[in-house]
Amino acid sequence: MKVLVTGGNGQLGRCLQDRLQYTDYEWQAPDQSNLDITDRSAIATYFKIFQPDIVINAAAYTAVDKAESDQENAYLVNATAPGYLAESCQTAAIPLIHISTDYVFDGTATVPYKVSDQTNPQSVYGSTKLVGEQIVQSTLSEHIIIRTAWVFSEYGNNFVKTMLRLANFHPVLKIVGDQYGCPTYAGDLADVILKMVMQVQFGQKLWGLYHYCGDQITSWHGFARAIFDEAKRQGIIDNIPQLRVINTDEYPVAAQRPQYSVLDCQLSFENYHVEIANWRKALTRVINKI
């Protein structure tokens, strides 16, 4: 079984590689410089040489605020390129696992979003990711799309690393307290993806749309609090900065975020024996690794 992971240098890409090395799969996880997914012919060539049996698209344009002024590139990476991958998968008759986001929703809900709920993205990032989902769905029937949220890990750029960096310089931090979601450890998501790869390998037809995120709802302020409590417990910081709760409108950014983007994962996964992971446990491991 040959597994191709695109976006090998991202948080998810790196967590997938950490786990793939302990499997029997033959795998490759090229970074952007080795496989640019916006290059249609590069994808075709890569497929011809490596001949994957399944593709996991972990590549994306994830700079949410930058996307507002860089719409064309965001669309190319998040919408057009997944179409190229789906097209090559269709030609090779192999499945594609594609990752999407909670930002496809507008965040006005008060209960967790189900996969069947109406999408209504409020940002360029969210809109381009939604079009990416739709292109994959219409190009390739053998697809799995997993929407996730608030991804953190020991790799790349994420909220955990930003908080720990800021703590070094700022005794007081203002953190948004009126946006709610579920942090997701990229390693837990990688475990779920590889579990699905294994099920596909053994003939299960899991095609469709799923939600996967960590298990406890929190705000960015609550997440920051958990990060600093854990960092202090592990002796990584001497003092916890004073955390001031602010509202979304007190922290102006280019892209509008969903106020509430909790994903209902239970229904979509209950038939596939996927457990929703405790992000606080993962946070302990991630801070230890950082």
Ligand X SMILES: NC(=O)c1ccc[n+]([C@@H]2O[C@H](COP(=O)([O-])OP(=O)(O)OC[C@H]3O[C@@H](n4cnc5c(N)ncnc54)[C@H](OP(=O)(O)O)[C@@H]3O)[C@@H](O)[C@H]2O)c1
Is residue 7 near ligand X by the rule CB under 6 A?
yes
Contact between 262 and 182 (Cβ < 8 Å): yes
Is residue 9 near ligand X by the rule CB under 6 A?
yes
Q: Compute the distance between CA of residue 100 and CA of residue 137 in angstroms, rounded to an integer.
A: 12
Q: Compute the distance between CA of residue 14 and CA of residue 58 in angstroms, rounded to an integer.
A: 9
Is residue 224 classed as helix, strand or coil in its secondary structure? helix
Closest to 259 in 3D by CA, of 150, 107, 156: 107
Q: Compute the distance between CA of residue 285 and CA of residue 290 in angstroms, rounded to an integer.
A: 9
Select from 17, 28, 88, 101 the one that contacts ligand X (CB under 6 A). 101
Select from 5, 20, 77, 193 the one that contacts ligand X (CB under 6 A). 77
Select from 58, 160, 192, 263 the one that contacts ligand X (CB under 6 A). 58
Report the residue number, 69 or 242, with the smaller CB distance to ligand X: 69
Is residue 10 near ligand X by the rule CB under 6 A?
yes
The alpha carbons of the chain give a radius of gyration, in whole angstroms, of 19
Select from 29, 55, 99, 190 the one that contacts ligand X (CB under 6 A). 99
Is residue 83 near ligand X by the rule CB under 6 A?
no
Select from 4, 37, 196, 200 the one that contacts ligand X (CB under 6 A). 37
Is residue 54 near ligand X by the rule CB under 6 A?
no
- Residue 2: count of CB within 10 angstroms of its CB: 14
Closest to 145 in 3D by CA, of 198, 203, 67, 206: 206
- Residue spans of alpha helices (H) in 106-219: 124-139, 159-167, 186-201
Nearest approach, Cβ of residue 10 and ligand X (Å): 2
Determine the interface stretch with ligand X among 9-17, 200-208, 215-223, 251-259 (rule: CB under 6 A). 9-17
Nearest approach, Cβ of residue 276 and ligand X (Å): 16
Contact between 93 and 143 (Cβ < 8 Å): no
Report the residue number, 31 or 215, with the smaller CB distance to ligand X: 31
Residues taking part in catalysis: 125
Q: Compute the distance between CA of residue 127 and CA of residue 119 in angstroms, rounded to an integer.
A: 9
Give the residue at shortest CB distance from ligand X: 10
Is residue 59 near ligand X by the rule CB under 6 A?
yes
Site for ligand X in 123-182 (CB under 6 A): 129, 148-151, 156
Is residue 190 near ligand X by the rule CB under 6 A?
no
Q: Compute the distance between CA of residue 55 and CA of residue 43 in angstroms, rounded to an integer.
A: 11
Applying CB under 6 A, which residues contact ligand X? 6-7, 9-13, 31-32, 36-38, 58-62, 77, 81, 99, 101-102, 129, 148-151, 156, 186
